[in-house]
Structure 1
């Protein structure tokens, strides 16, 4: 299955022919994970459990265990993330935000996938 090629905060990707770009497999899953983690919790009316709201946590007292738990809970709902082995998640405070590292096993390729991104105010 394909999704539009779109990283949160960026432009929609284009194909070699100038059409809307699409992604699949692990790139699709990575984009879906980031989108899920930065979407405010409860902001989708018909999907109240979707979203971790990481940007809304910036500026509050940093609770790494709570953020890690929320990430774990949210990515377990993504079909592209295998249930076993359990993903490895690291959360580190950075200037005006957090750095998130996730290593999960792809349910598509059965290979480990590494995803690293920062969330800032």
Structure 2
């Protein structure tokens, strides 16, 4: 199944034929992972537990362990992310003003390994 192509925080993309672009395969999984990690809990009214709300950690000192735990719990609920092998999540202080996150997971639909980096 495909979804409309929408990069989180952006606009719908236009396809090669002028219609709305769709997202499939690993691009769709990445799109869903980003949406899940950046959506605030309680914002999705049909599933109130959906979303990690990583934006709430902006400026939070010493929150690396909590960020990783919240992200891990949400990735466990994402059906397009394989649970074997378990996704690996790294949270590092990128510089004094930010935290960078790396997520390595296997796409359950395509079998591809994906490395996703969220800059601080």
**Counterpart of 1:18 in 2: which secondary structure?**
coil
TM-score (norm 2): 0.90
Alignment coverage as a number of residue pairs: 119
Structure 1 residue 16 displacement after superposition: 0.3
Structure 1 residue 62 displacement after superposition: 2.9
Structure 1 residue 32 displacement after superposition: 0.7
Match of 1:77 in 2: 77
**Counterpart of 2:114 in 1: which secondary structure?**
strand
Q: RMSD across aligned C-alpha pairs, in angstroms?
A: 1.4
Query: Can you give the 5+ residue segments of structure 1 that lack an aligned partner in the other structure?
Result: none
Please list every run of at least 4 consecutive aligned residues from structure 1 whose deviation after the TM superposition is greater than 3 angstroms. 94-97
Q: Is structure 2 residue 28 aligned with structure 1 residue 51? A: no
Give, in whole Å, the separation in 2 of the partners of 1:98 and 1:71.
14
Structure 1 residue 99 displacement after superposition: 1.6
Give, in whole Å, the separation in 2 of the partners of 1:48 and 1:97.
28
Give, in whole Å, the separation in 1 of the partners of 2:46 and 2:15.
31
Query: Can you give the 5+ residue segments of structure 2 that lack an aligned partner in the other structure?
Result: none
TM-score (norm 1): 0.90
- Kept after mapping to 1: 8 A contact 2:42/2:49: yes
